[in-house]
Structure 1
Amino acid sequence: MDVRFTLDGTPLAVRYDGHIWAVAADPVRWFERESWWETQARVPVGAAVVDTTIWQVQVRINSASPLRTMQLRQPAMTDHWILTSIDDAT
């Protein structure tokens, strides 16, 4: 899975399951706290690892396809994204 962003850091499109899903509504972002006490990884001094970025985006493959809601998670200290859920938009 890959996420493409606008210059201001807002999700623009998601590459998933062999398709490019365009973001079709305003995405919602929030942060969740990492369970840093449960991880085995050591963190460099001064690094911020407390927050995980979460985006909820409504996407579609083309203008005639139905909206789907994806929830994307970026673990702290990584540059990759994980799809945590995909549902029909309601």
Structure 2
Amino acid sequence: MGLFTQSVEVDCSAAGLPLRLRWQGREYRVSAEPVRWFERRKWWAEEVRAERGRGPGLVDHEIWRLQVRLAGRGPLVTFDVSRQTETGRWRLIRIHDALRESA
């Protein structure tokens, strides 16, 4: 599994579910039900201090596992992306082995 962080663009449905992902000039379409969970982050190493009343996005990262196909065709590839709660920015954080084997 590859582990890194790169900015990506993600289009979501009105309900907030990812539909499409653009990375390195290519468009991937979500081909299976996305899965969401939260992971702890080392906020104390990234933030000077925690402001009173600030909670969402400080302790946890929102992570989505997306199974996608390049332009809706081709083999199924699994990406893990995170969404920063405060800014709405998306980052690609993991590419699972299937992509590296086919590349």
- TM bin, normalised by shorter chain, reads 0.7 to 0.9
**Residue in 2 aligned with 1:50?**
59
**Residue in 2 aligned with 1:5?**
12
Whose helix fraction is larger, Structure 1's or Structure 2's? 2
**Residue in 1 aligned with 2:34?**
27
TM-score in terms of structure 2 length:
0.74
Query: 2:10 & 2:44 partners in 1: Cα distance?
Result: 29
**Residue in 2 aligned with 1:64?**
73
After TM superposition, where is structure 1 displaced by more than 4 Å over at least 4 residues in a row?
Answer: none
Deviation of 1:78 after TM superposition, in Å, equals: 3.1
Q: Which amino acid aligns with 1:13?
A: R
Q: Which amino acid aligns with 1:85?
A: R
Q: Which has the higher contact order (CA 8 A, sep 6+)?
A: 2
Identity over aligned pairs, percent? 37
Q: Secondary structure at the match of 2:44?
A: helix
Equivalent pair of 2:21/2:28 in contact (CA under 8 Å):
yes
1:81/1:64 CA distance change after superposition, 3 Å: closer
Query: 2:29 & 2:44 partners in 1: Cα distance?
Result: 37
Structure 2, unmatched stretches of 5+, are: 1-7
TM-score in terms of structure 1 length:
0.83
**Paired positions, count:** 89
Query: What is the alpha-carbon root mean square deviation over aligned residues?
Result: 1.9
